[in-house]
Structures are given as structure tokens and as C-alpha cells.
A and B are shown apart, each in its own frame.
Chain A
Amino acid sequence: MSQSYRIEGKGRIDRSKPIRFTWNGRSYQGYQGDTLASALLANGVRLVGRSFKYHRPRGIMTAGSEEPNAVVQLEEGARTEPNTRATMAELYDGLTANAQNCWPSVEFDVGALNAKLSRFFPAGFYYKTFMWPAALWEPLYEKIIRRAAGMGESPEEIDPDSYAQHFAHCDVLIAGGGPAGLSAALAAGRTGARVILADEGAEFGGSLLADTVEIAGKPAADWIAETVAELTAMPEVTLLPRTTVSAYYDHNFLTLTERVTDHMGPRADDSVPRQRFWKVRAKQTILAQGAIERPLLFADNDRPGVMLASAARTYINRYGVLPGREIVVFTGNDSAYPAALDAKAAGARVEIVDLRTDPKGPLVDHARAQGIEIHAGCGITGTRGTKALHGCDVAPLSEDGKSLADEPFSIGCDCIAVAGGWNPTVHLHSQARGKLSWDDTKQCFVPGYCQWPTRSAGAGNGTFDLAGCLDEGLKAGAAAAHEAGFGKGAAPEAPAVELSEEGPARQVWIVPSDVPLGHGKKHFHDHQNDVTAADIHLAAREGYVSVEHLKRYTTTGMGTDQGKTSNVNALAVMADIRNARIPEVGTTTFRPPYVPTTFGAIGGQNRRHLFLQERTTPMHAAHVANGAVFEDVGDWKRPWYFPRDGEDMHEAVQRECRQARETCGLLDASTLGKIDIQGPDAAWFLNMMYTNKWDTLAVGKGRYGVMLNEHGMVIDDGVTTRLAENHFHMTTTTGGAARVLGMLEEWLQTEWPERQVYCTSVTEQWAVCTITGPNAKALMADLTDDIDVDPANFPFLAYRTGTVAGAPARVYRISFTGDLAYEVNVPARHGLAVWTTILERGRKHGLVQYGTETMHVLRAEKGFIIVGQDTDGTVTPMDLGMNWIVSKKKDDFIGKRSHSRSDTAREGRKQLVGIMTEDPNVVLPEGAHLVNQPGKPPIAMEGHVTSSYMSPNVGRSIALGLIKGGRDRIGDTLHAPMMDGKTVHKVTLTEPVFFDKEGKRTNG
């Protein structure tokens, strides 16, 4: 059975390039230019999958991205890919694919038992059962449902391929490269406009690739080739084959997915991404996506072998494959006749079942002339065959099309090509929030008004004849280019096309059968999700009549094909039930993306080390060399601690803490947020942003400030220094830097635009080395000649400029350890050199470099808070015992008003206290809660531990916490129950200062 369905001499495949591929473990041959679907059909493979719910055998139904049935697991191992549409997968050498959702095989699928029981699984059956006994829902019923559901299998290995994102702007973006899209590109391109033309297919040409028509007296293929050649020569035109325009967002922002190498299969070469995700801002768009043929709803219309007539024609003409040897074309219009004629010419036995009682016109005459039998006024009332179609029953229909006018007769066939009319592909238009209107003559939705600069052309606009498509495309292209500022808007003349006149269509939305709907035979409208017309009747009967209820209750249109072939048919059934017109039933929302898009493509290159890029300080290289263990703080990598040989974290931190207090320590504080604030209103502005007074601050001096939100709660803190009358250097917490700058800007821009204040982030401009400890002064003296570092002359919170370790520096006398400390700021490019010099010169002063953990312990020994750790956005400065920092004199500052709210002003709020465990060796877990009396939960909580460490300098564990009414309960005993539900630690509340309570060490 080697490609026995190939048609001699037909198709655009390259017969000189045979390709081997494997399907369900068997090896087959196809040709370059095939899709997996066409190659399977060429080899006579009909059964390609099992349906979602009933496990019915299914075949290939379409030749495009609308395919509901033929979804397969492509490849195995790291490159495996679930739910790939066989109709879109181009064949490459060695391609391997397997059927999904079946066990043990697609031929013998145990799940097919469901089909026998299908009667008990109507739409929504799961809402009505599996409720008893309640305890079995999760462990049993749901488990079975979950196993049965799902389709393909997720990869289990890391994807070896790479992906890219690409930004583009253009004047005219054209979605779809069929006759309308190509014409549009031609007209727009000739004006010199920047045009992007994208088409899903491997080749441009769209429906023309399956047509035998002539354009300007030549085969359509020649016209395509000439047009593509002309477009290729235009420097401003970008042609993107294998590219789906997947989503249309506000302001003409569209995303495109380009399958760059999928058609080549797995490759070792990683120089090109597998897929490229385009983000395009287009001045104008032209939507020329064509139309999707509608299947007909007839009894058991899902057998392998039932396919769209347009797909049958595509397989014949484009791929040179006969979809069957005995083909019944089932139609209500003329558009299927060319398929019948082509099939006949290719050697198939063809009969036509036409819903129209008196089909006429040149195409019909032609068919008759070719000896094709036409059963007029008839419908298919049933099909035969399980794993492959082998016949159908046909009967004349009554005048209203709702019942049979006579007994059915049988026709043997292995393919039914169905043609139920056409649905313009309005998805993108609809995603752009364009309106849709129902066209009664054409029996379809067509695009209406859209607020964005877009136009639809060709079949996508409801223009179904070729001449019309070419003409409309050219006009749309010229008009769009003109509106984008190119050309005069006049369209080139459309090439001549031989007109084939089409007769009127007959629409029978539900083809009756010999049994009532739902009695044994199934009229599927949604093939992937196994939804039938009877399910819609059930939904309507039960009151799920709104389109959205219908969709959700029956799952219509919720599959990977997103209802491309099912939605309008479903609306029609509902309209029939409600005795309403289709547009009165409504339309559903078309949600992006047009076809499913890989997460890989969306993520683009923002993966691994490019995902939320790490920020490092100028001294990072030294930290790495010095063996630092890093901590993630926001996006920063900060040294957490510097272990020496064999030390664990605890040992390292204890050593660093001790040495920093005994001799001196060095911390990389470069990550602290730094904001340069200038302008005549700068001091006024700081008065508003901080709780204390800033206009009184002398030049050259700094001050600690806390910042509140509108609720009066602390959200950031730091020291800000007045560099000049109208110039301040603000520092913020590391994590809060961006947020604070955002807040400053928001207030300035929205509330006080008249104020002259300019804020600039300078976080990355300065490298900061903090030197602290008893020996800090001596070390500083070794590092600088031009700054008098004696605390007597360089007081706490003052600021000096000079040269430190050979670099220009700003030195601030700020201390977060409580010891004598200097914060040396040097321009970032000097950071590494200065750090290294300090380490070297520090050796003789006993200098230790320390990380964030030691920084935390040292500050906790002094009871200094960390905003975000000891506060959580519900804490006022008063709660922290910092009443002193809240100015009583200022008229206003952010948060002031809220301090008078009754709950904020009340007694007994949670307040910052120290917490000492009875056992000095117990370090409480941060987050532990204190209770008055231990007991069984639920139990009233008094507050929680915010910071907790083993302090070598205090000689025991210490902790800070926020405790209800804490300031008045110093000395009280409370309890901390642990997560194990057993252990309880006894604790005492203390003042939140554990070390150097008198503050004598600040000045050395």
C-alpha cells in the first residue's frame, strides 16, 4: 500500500524528493511538499485519531488549521509535541507521529466502550452525577475523568529548541496571502509603503493552490509566482510564509507566530530559532484570511472519510492525492462541483447528493456532461462503516427540509465530501472588537464596523468569487496604503478571470435522518469535543439557551480548533429550536489566539538567564572570587555571607557578626535605592513625602526619614542628605527603590505638577562600601588624605566629598549597625577597585567582609527595623515606637490625615517589641505567632515574630515582633506554639534594643 492514492501528474509536491516518515510505529513514504495529512491519505490511512469523549474513530476532515479531528502527537522524546494538526504539519524526513487519546492503539481502542455507552453521556452529564457518595468524587470519579480527558501528552524533557521575539512596525499588515491578500500586498507595495504579508501556509496562494482556474489567461500558479516575485523584489515588503497572525489587540497591535524551522524537523543547528513571535504595530491592517467551509450536519457525519469538499479538492489538486476512490459529494451549493469534477477527472467514481431540488447552471451541466450522477433534492441520512467509511444512505427530503420524502437508498463510498456553505474567517476582525453582521443571502457572518483602521477583503469579507477577491484585494491595498500616507488610493486594474456562474444555494442546517434526532444516530457539529445537535436540543430544553451557556454546557467550540467548523452550525441549530434567526441567537466571542501558540514562542528569548535578568553590583566579581553565597533581593544578587573553609551559614554569620563589632566590617551596600532630587521645591517636596521636617536640614547634613502611604503606614525608610540648597540625595530600601521613585513621580505628576522637583534614579551610578566598627576610623584614615574622618570633626549624619582609595567619593556618616560607620560612595566604575583596595588595607585593621545576613543580625541587635520585614504596610511610625519622627508642626505630609482615623489612633495596636526566649539557644522561626496561653486551635493570637537571630554579640537569641499593645506589656510572658502542634516556647517581651542600649558606639 505505497501511496496508492496518488494521482499521476497532479499536485505541487516534489516527486523527486521522497520522504520517509513513521505513523503509529509503521514506516510510510510521502513527498516533499506533503503535509502529514496528505501523506497519510496518499497511503490510504484513514483512521487518524479517536474523539475526545466517545472515542469514535476519526479521520482527516480539513486541509487547514481548522482541523478538529486529525490532531496527533508529533515526535517523541524532548521534541514531542501534543495536539499537532496533521493538516498543518509539513512532512520532513524522519517525521514520527502517533495517534492520541487511544489505548492500546488507534485501531483497537478500549475507550471505544464509551461510544457504546454514549447514550448515558449526553452534554453536561457530569453535572448530574458522581455526587454520591461525596467521598468518592476526588479519589475515584474525578480521577477517571481526568485520565480519560486531556488529549496529547505533555513533553517531559526540556525543549532543546530556541525561540525569538521580534518587533516590527509597518504601514500595512496583511493577514492572509490568498488571491485577495496577494492583490492587497501588490497594490500597497507598489506605493512604497512598508508592507508585511503573512500567511499560515507553506506557500502563498491560499485557495488558489487548490484551484484549476486561470488568471489573465494563465494558470493561477503562474499568477501567484509572478505576484510573489514582484513582491519579493520590493524592498519595503516583508513576506512571511508559515506565519499565523494570531491576535489583534487594541490600537492595531498584532502578534504573529512564524514557524521558522518546524517544516525541517529536529535540527542540531541552533543558529535559527524554531519559531519567531512577531509583535507588530501596524498603521493599517487588511484581513484577507479567506473563508472556512462549513460541514453539513447529517447523521453519523464523523466517519473517517467524511471531509470538507474544499479539503477534498485541495488534496486532489495541491497534493495529488485522491481522498477516496468512490466519492459522494454532499452539497447545497455549486462550490463543491469543481471538487466533484476534479475527483472524477482524477479517476474516482463520483456521485453528487445535492440538497437543491433543481440544481442548474454551467457547473451542474458540466458535471452531468461528465457523467456524474446527481441526486437532487436529497440528503444523506446516515453513513456506514466504523474505522473507515464504506457507504451512505440517501433520501429525498421534504420541501421544508425537515423530514424525508421517501425511503433512503444506499450508495457505496469511501469518502463523503461535504459542502455546507462558507464562513468568512472573521476571527481577527472580531478580536479587534469589530462588529459582525449576518448576511441573509450568503448565509454567513460578515465583518462590520471596527474602531481600528482595518478592512477586510476577499472571502473573509464575504466576497466568494475570484474576480471579486482580486478586485477587492487591490482596492483594499491601495486604500490602506493611501491612508497610511502612500499613493493616491487608486487601485491597479484587476486581472481578467473567467467567470463561472454559480446558481443559488439551499441551506439545510440539520439534515434529517430516518430516526428522530438523538435516537441512535449522531449529528456532530463539534467533532473534536463530540458535541451533537441533540446535545444542543438538550441544552435548550434545560434552559442553557444563551450562546455562552450553550457553549459552556455542551463544550461546543472549546477544543483546540476553537470552533472554527462548529460554531455557526451550533448557532443554526439553536436558532432552529428557538424559531429565531441566527443573528438573534447571537455570536460568540472570538478569543485570541487564532490558532494555539506555543508558550515557547510567546516567551521568546526571555528564558533562563534572560528571564528577569540578574542585577549585580560593580563589586560582584570580587564577591564571586571571595566565595560569597548570594541571596536574591528583588532582582539583585547580594552576598548573603562569605563562608570560609568548611563553615556553614550559621558559623560564617556568627564569625562575621563578631568580627564586625570587634574590629571592623565591610558591606557592599550598592543595591540601596538612590534617588537624586533637585529643584527649588525639593525641600518642600521632602516635607510632604517624609513624616519629619526637611526644610530645616542644613546643607551637608543628612537625616533619617520614614515614608508613609495614604493610610499612614510605613512603606519605606532611608537617610536623605542635603547636598546643596536645592539638591538632595535620597536613599531607599533595596527592594523599594523603584516603587519609591514611582510614588514620588506619581505625586509630582498627578497632584503637584506645578512644583519644580526633578527625581532621577542614581542607584546604579554609585557603588557603596560601608565600613563599620571600632576600627573604621583608622581604616578610613588609611584610605583618604583629604577628608578628616575624626568623628569630632565629621559628625554623625554629616557628609563630605573627597578622594577615597584613589577614587572621587561622597562619604556619609550613616550607621545601620549602631557602630561608628562610613558609607563610601564612589562612581560605579571605581567600585571594584575601591572595594579591593579597602579589603587590602583593611587587613591590618582586622577587616571582615560581611553579607546581608550579618547586616540583618547587627541591625536587629540595635532594634533597627527593616521595612517589609518588621513592617508589612499595616504599621505606623508610632507602632514602631518612633513617635519622634512624626512632626507635630508640619501642616501636612502623606499619611498624616489617616493617623487621626479611629482605628489608627486607638490604643492596643500591634507594636514593635523585643522578644527573648526563655531558652537562650532557641531561635524562634520568623513568622511564629505569640499567644497568651497555649492551647488547641483556634486560638487568639497576640502578634508575630518579624525578625529572629542568634546574636553572638548579645550572646543569645534575639527577636523582634509586632505584638498587640506590646509597648505596655514589656516584661510579660507569652508563648510561641510551633507548627508541629506540640512544641511551645516561653518568651518574654522586652525593649527592642539588645546591644549598646545607650548608643555609645556610634561615634567610636
Chain B
Amino acid sequence: MTKYSIFSLIRNALSYHENWQKAWRSPDPKPAYDVVIVGGGGHGLATAYYLAKECGITNVAVIEKGWLGGGNTGRNTTIVRSNYLWDESAALYDHAIKLWETMSQDLNYNVMFSQRGLLHLAHNVHDMQEIGRRGHAIKLNGIDSEFLSPAQVKEMVPIINLNCRYPVMGALLQRRGGTARHDAVAWGYARACDAMGVDIIQNCAVTGFEIEDGTVKAVETTRGRIGAGKVGVVTAGHSSVMAEMAGFRMPLESFPLQAFVSEPLKPVIDCVIMSNAIHAYISQSDKGELVIGGSGDPYISYSQRGSFDQVEHVAGPVLELYPVFSRVRMMRQWGGITDVTVDRSPILTKTPVGNMYFNCGWGTGGFKATPGSGHVFAHSIAKGEMHPIAAPFSMDRFNTGALIDEAAAAAVAH
């Protein structure tokens, strides 16, 4: 792998950029691998990366039905934060943030992780109680959290309209929260995986599993059978479909979630701002687009696009909080399929099928967990035992009732 740096950039500029290497190969699948990861999104690729890097397992294939990162990894609004309420979540997401903080250097690929700060606005007494509770819990979990007064919010976001329909009463700030460049995460991992010998196989859909005596032996794909010592399924919105192929049910519902960007503007918003009562969240990309999201479509679907009502449902709140954007234009709208659990927490789990592991249920908020999720999932697959940070997220919790209910607490899960 040629190292990327300002020097390699200059060197290559002199040869008109004609000598750059492929970021990753496109090999034909081998007959068998020690581990097959199904799904070439951020989580699948991160899993392969840590299997190779930390668990000594390099005979690994990542199998992707389309193009790498074409699922939710390449469609999300890239908010990264770890200010979750429950201890289990805080541990998982903060584990991820710590890995984010060194990811560009680890991968030698600039994923543009930018800790611009993230605000949760509170607009009523109930919101104040919610951020009060979360703020205290986060703090005692050793994660940064601060309360801001409306005046302090205004200082951070000068264009905000504090006196809107539900006036801003306060906010919870996580300074270490922010955004990253989603595609770069997929590409950076793919390149680093490839350099360690992992096979990245695109345009290859898994169509079934070969299961013998309750243990998975191979995956069937559009490019033939591929033997597998272990299988990690990381297919986000299609995970319940994959579980069905393997003969069990995954407690997930798949909903479209949409995102929107405006035309590029010179910098006007510096941090990420989320609002629960006036449901829209917003940040500004390095390219200058306002990146906007709202809630999921209200019905179950596998259609990777949105309906109109959500466009309307974010335009109102955006204008209410940032009335100066009235003459700014929305440039693009798209959707992804989010795999939603009943407690809005992910599933990292062994399954009823031997040697088969699932990593799913990230729903509307898994981008931020990408490195942490891949890390603990890789260790779980390698050891055959769930990593302690992953263990509470096992699918068993739906039987025992030990839910990690982030929905109950905050409703916003991005």
C-alpha cells in the first residue's frame, strides 16, 4: 500500500497522477475463507479490518451485493456522538469515538472526522428533564457533557431563532461530537483491509447459507458458493431478510429514513444541532451544504427513497429554528433503509446457527458506532464469545426483557 501524504501527493503530481495504485483490488472470490463478512458497509468493513489487524485473521472476504458503502454508510448524515443515556450504550459509542479520534491516521486515509461539537436543544420542560438526566448520566460515565443556556446556544449558533414555536430553554452539548466523511470511512477501511490481504468482493449478493447440523458452512452468492469457517452478517436494512435465509427471525423492522442537503453556502453553521421537539437536525458539510435530517418514514418499506411528507416535515422545523434559510434552496433528497429494533439499540449477537454472527439493528444511528462496532464484533467472531462491550446487545435481550431502551429516553436516535 503506498502511503498517502502530502509528499506522495506532490510526487504523484509530478507524474500527472498516473502512478497511483488501486485503493483496493477486485479479486475473484476464493473457494473458501476463514471468515466471510456479508455486507460491505462501514460496519462490515470495520469488522474485517479489526479481524485482520488485531485478531490475526486475514483470510477474510467482505461480500457486497452492490458497491462498497452504497447502503446506509453512504447515505447518512454522518453525526458522531456518544452522549447516550444508558451505561451499555455510552460504553459502546464512546469506545467508537475514541477510535474515530485516530481513524484517519490508523487507516492512512483522511475520513475528515471533525469534532465540531453537537447540541441537543431542549424546548420544553420535558426536554429539559430529558437532557438533565442524560447530561448527568453521561458526565458520571466519564464522557464530556455540558448544559448550555439559551444565550450560550445563540453564541454558538448566531442564526438560530431562540424564540420559536417551542422556545429554546437550554441545550446539552457534547464537544467531542461532530461529523465525518461517510464515503471515506468505507473507502479507507477497504483500502486498509485490502492491504492486509482481505478480499473485497463487490457486485456479489449473498442469496443463501449452507447450514449443516445447525452450523454454517458456506454462503451462496450470485458468484457461486463460498466456503466459510465463520460468517458475520452486517447488512443493516436487509438483516431480517438475511436471518430468514438462515432460518430464524430477527426482531427488526425496516423503515426508510431520508436526508436532505441544501445548495452549498459559505460557512454559517459550525456545529451539529439536533432538536427533538422541533424535529429536524442540521449541520454544514465541509463542501458547504446544509445537511438536514428528520424522522423516519412512518411505514415499513425496502424502498431506498423517500416520500414527500418528510421533506415538508423538515422544511417547517428548519425554517422555524433558522428562518434565514427561507431563500436557501434544497438541492437533493434521498433515503436509506434503516433496521430498527424496538429499543432503538443495535444487535450484536451470536445466532441460533453455529458460527454465524449478526451485527445489525443500528437503525437511524449507527454511523457513529462504525469503528467501535467493527472492533468489538471482530473480537467476538474471533473468540467465539461476545466482547464484553457487545454482550449486552445480544438478541437474547428480547427474551429476557433486558432492553437498552434509548427510544424511551430520547426518541432522537441519529
Contact = CB atoms under 8 A, between A and B. Distances in A.
Interface of A: 52, 79-83, 119-120, 122, 125-132, 134, 137-138, 142, 145-147, 149-159, 161, 163, 247, 249-250, 253, 255, 279, 433, 516, 518-519, 534, 538, 541-544, 546, 548-549, 552-553, 555, 558-560, 562, 589, 591-593, 596-600, 602-603, 606-608, 611-612, 614, 631-633, 711-713, 735, 868-869, 872-874, 898, 901-904, 925-929, 931, 937-939, 941, 944, 946, 977, 979, 981
Nearest to B181: A127
Contacts of A562: 331-332
A538 B17 contact: yes
Given A599-B328, A872-B409, A560 B264 contact: yes
A563 to B, nearest CB: 11
A250 B307 contact: yes
B288 A149 contact: yes
A934 B120 CA distance: 27
Contacts of A925: 132, 136
Given A534-B17, A611-B165, 15 more contacts: A129-B9, A131-B104, A137-B113, A146-B286, A154-B266, A560-B331, A593-B332, A612-B316, A711-B342, A901-B399, A902-B400, A926-B133, A927-B132, A937-B141, A979-B145
Contacts of A138: 114-116
Contacts of B131: 927
Interface string B254-275: 0000000011111110000000
A132 B8 CA distance: 13
Contacts of B266: 147, 150-154
Nearest to A142: B114
A127 B184 contact: yes
B401 A927 contact: no
Contacts of B166: 632
A84 to B, nearest CB: 9
A29 B25 CA distance: 59
A519 B16 CA distance: 6
Contacts of B18: 518, 541
Contacts, number: 320
B212 interface: no
B246 to A, nearest CB: 24
Nearest to A138: B114
Interface stretch (B48-56, B121-129, B224-232, B382-390): B121-129
Given A869-B129, A929-B140, A939-B140, A249 B308 contact: yes
B6 A543 contact: no
5 contacts: A142-B114, A147-B267, A154-B265, A596-B262, A941-B87
A557 to B, nearest CB: 10
A937 B142 contact: yes
B93 interface: no
A49 B131 CA distance: 46
A548 B74 contact: yes
Given A82-B265, A131-B104, A549-B68, A927 B116 contact: no
A542 B23 contact: yes
Interface stretch (B30-38, B319-327, B351-359, B371-379): B319-327
A599 B330 contact: yes
Contacts of B74: 548, 552
Contacts of A131: 4-5, 104-105, 108, 110
A151 B331 CA distance: 13
Contacts of B130: 927
Contacts of B400: 901-904
A600 B405 contact: no
B139 A149 contact: no
B123 A632 contact: yes
B140 A711 contact: no
Interface string B1-43: 0001110111001001110111111100000000000000000
B312 to A, nearest CB: 6
A592 B4 contact: no
A153 B327 CA distance: 11
Nearest to B109: A127
B23 A159 contact: no
Pick the 6 closest A-B CB pairs, nearest first. A927-B132, A873-B408, A150-B288, A901-B401, A927-B133, A596-B329
A125 B9 contact: yes
Contacts of B21: 542
Contacts of B362: none
A154 B401 contact: no
Which bracket fits the contact residues of B? 35 or more
B113 to A, nearest CB: 8
A631 to B, nearest CB: 6
Contacts of A247: 308, 333
A145 B135 CA distance: 33
B70 interface: yes
Nearest to B290: A154
A939 to B, nearest CB: 5
A57 B145 CA distance: 47
B187 interface: yes
Nearest to B319: A603
Contacts of A153: 265-266
B293 to A, nearest CB: 14
Contacts of B286: 142, 145-146, 149
Contact of A127 (B68, B128, B142, B187): B187
Contacts of B24: 543
Nearest to B141: A938
Which of B26, B165, B317 has most A Cβ within 10 Å? B165
B140 A931 contact: yes
A926 to B, nearest CB: 5
A606 B135 contact: no
A554 to B, nearest CB: 11
A542 B20 contact: yes
B67 interface: yes
B81 to A, nearest CB: 16
Nearest to A249: B308
Given A82-B263, A129-B4, A142-B112, A979 B332 contact: no
Interface in B184-217: 184, 187-188, 202
A249 B310 CA distance: 12
A543 B23 contact: yes
A606 to B, nearest CB: 5
Nearest to A101: B266
B151 interface: no
Contacts of A589: 334
Nearest to B158: A156
Contact of A150 (B68, B70, B113, B267): B267
A602 B105 contact: no
B368 interface: no
B320 A944 contact: no
Nearest to A134: B105
Contacts of B142: 937-939
A137 B68 CA distance: 26
A518 B136 contact: no
Contact of A874 (B108, B329, B408): B408
Interface string B79-117: 000000001000000000000001011001110111110
Contacts of B278: 612
A370 B409 CA distance: 78
Contacts of A598: 326-330
Nearest to B266: A150
A946 B316 CA distance: 32
A925 B409 CA distance: 17
A548 B67 contact: yes
A263 to B, nearest CB: 16
A457 B324 CA distance: 40
Contact of B330 (A52, A249, A596, A929): A596
Contact of B263 (A130, A152, A158): A152
Nearest to A607: B319
Nearest to A246: B330
A629 to B, nearest CB: 12
Which of B5, B10, B129, B131 has most A Cβ within 10 Å? B129
A598 B311 CA distance: 12
